[in-house]
Amino acid sequence: GSCVDLRVQYTRLRLVVVAVIMSVLIGLATVRALNQHQHYAELGENQQELLHGIVEQVPGLKADAPLIVVDETGRYYDNWSLGTGFLLTYAVRFVYSDYSMDAILCSFDTETQQFADLPEQHELCSFSPTGVTQTIGGEVAARYAYNEIVLIRYNDNGAELLRQVPPAYLQTEPEQG
């Protein structure tokens, strides 16, 4: 009889141990899923903040005036964060309901006072005395004179329509990253 009792207790104990282990694993997976959800919700909020700031500064944008957005926050750096020119272009086209618009995203590091390479497609901006140039993968993709563009600076205070190019932009050489 005691052998059967031990076997029954062992079986019950084993089921309890399995249930506890499964509960811990399910709990960990739930916490991870909630953290991941929060991350993606924050990405969406960041994208909305950028687009809202652009529209607030430039309620109407002509299709023939390319939009140049200089991100000084470092939040927009890959395709998950709207950090490529083509994703920004698609978003701006949708927001303005004009599918012929062009937009360029430039990343400016305020600490080093340098334009930085957006890693997804190796997009890089440079500002010269005559205009702005965007390279993708080292090849010139776009070049615009200042009188042709709409220039937006995006920093921790939000979006700002610039009437003049800040001197810090002109003094920089692109930083390969």
Of the chain, the percentage scoring pLDDT greater than 90 comes to 59
Model pLDDT, residue 134? 94
- What pLDDT digit, counting tens, does each position of 33-44 carry? 999 999 888 888
pLDDT value at position 142? 92
pLDDT digits (tens, 9 = 90+) for 4-54: 676 767 777 888 888 999 999 999 999 999 999 998 888 888 889 999 999
pLDDT surpasses 70 at 80: yes
User: What is the pLDDT at residue 63?
Assistant: 67
Mean pLDDT, rounded, for 127-154: 93
pLDDT confidence of residue 4: 66
Asked whether the predicted pLDDT for residue 81 surpasses 80, the reply is: no
CA Rg value for the chain: 26
CA gap 124, 140 in Å, rounded: 9
Q: Coil, strand, or helix at residue 165?
A: coil
**Sheet arrangement for strand 131-136:** 123-127, 131-136, 139-145
Residue 57 contacts residue 22 (beta carbons within 8 Å) = no
Looking at residue 171, its pLDDT comes to: 65
Q: What is the pLDDT of residue 60?
A: 83
86-138 pLDDT per residue, tens: 889 999 999 999 888 999 999 999 999 999 988 888 899 999 999 999 999 99
Look at the block and give the residue holding tokens 């950028």: 50
